[in-house]
A and B are shown apart, each in its own frame.
Chain A
Amino acid sequence: MGTGMKIGLLLLTAFLAILLGVGTGSVYVSPGDIWSIMAERMFAIPLPDHIPTSYSVMVLDMRLPRVLLAFLTGAALALCGAVMQSLLQNPLASPFGLGVSSGAGLGAALVIVLGLSSAGLGTFLLPVVSLGFALAAVFMVLFLSAKLDRGMSNVTVILVGMVLSLFCNAVMSLLATGSPTYAQRIQLWQLGSFSMREWSAVGVLFPATVVVGLYFLRYAGELDVMTFGEEQAQAMGVDLRKVKGRLMTAVAVLTGTAVAFVGIIGFVDLIVPHIVRRLFGAAHRRALPACALLGGSFLVLCDLAARTLTPPHEIPIGSITALLGAPFFLYLFFAGRRES
Chain B
Amino acid sequence: MNKTALLTVEHFYCGYGNTQVIKDLSFQVKAGERFCILGPNGCGKTTLLRALAGVLSWQGNVEADGLTLHMMPPKQRAKRIALMSQFSQAAFDYTVYEAVMLGRYTHRSGSLFSVETSADREAVEDALRRTGVWELRERSVTKLSGGQLQRVFLARTFAQEPQIILLDEPANHLDLRCQAELLESLREWTAARNRCVVGVFHDISLALAFADTALLLEDGRALACGPVGELDGRLLDRLYGMDVHRYMKKMYGRWM
Contacts and interface: CB of A to CB of B under 8 A. Distances in A.
Contacts of A227: 91-92, 94
A323 B105 CA distance: 41
B82 A236 contact: yes
22 contacts: A86-B92, A89-B89, A221-B110, A222-B105, A224-B102, A225-B102, A225-B105, A227-B91, A227-B94, A228-B90, A228-B99, A231-B83, A231-B87, A232-B88, A234-B74, A235-B54, A235-B81, A235-B82, A235-B166, A237-B76, A237-B106, A282-B92
A214 B113 CA distance: 11
Closest 10 CB pairs of A and B: A237-B78, A235-B83, A237-B75, A282-B92, A235-B53, A237-B74, A282-B93, A218-B112, A227-B92, A234-B55
Contacts of A238: 74, 105
A236 B89 contact: no
Interface string A273-313: 00001100111000000000000000000000000000000
A278 B82 contact: no
A40 B13 CA distance: 74
B179 interface: no
Contacts of B90: 228
A202 interface: no
Interface in A228-265: 228-229, 231-232, 234-239
Nearest to A227: B92
Contacts of B92: 86, 91, 227, 277, 282
Nearest to B106: A237
Given A89-B89, A235-B78, A221 B103 contact: no
Interface size class of A (residues with CB under 8 A): 20 to 34
Contacts of A89: 89, 91
A232 B87 contact: yes
B91 A217 contact: no
A281 B53 CA distance: 29
Contacts of A30: none
Interface of A: 86, 89-91, 214, 217-218, 221-222, 224-225, 227-229, 231-232, 234-239, 277-278, 281-283
Contact of A90 (B75, B91, B99, B108): B91
Nearest to A336: B142
A236 B94 contact: no
A232 B83 contact: yes
Contacts of A231: 50, 53, 55, 83, 85, 87
Given A282-B92, A283-B94, 12 more contacts: A221-B102, A221-B105, A224-B94, A227-B94, A232-B87, A234-B55, A235-B54, A235-B55, A236-B82, A236-B105, A236-B160, A237-B73
Nearest to A279: B93
Nearest to B17: A150
A89 B88 CA distance: 11
A152 to B, nearest CB: 13
B117 interface: no
A237 B111 CA distance: 15
B95 interface: yes
A224 B83 CA distance: 17
B118 interface: no
Contact of A283 (B87, B98, B105): B98
A91 B94 CA distance: 13
Contact of A236 (B50, B93, B103): B103
Nearest to A286: B98
Contacts of A228: 88-90, 99, 102
A232 B102 CA distance: 11
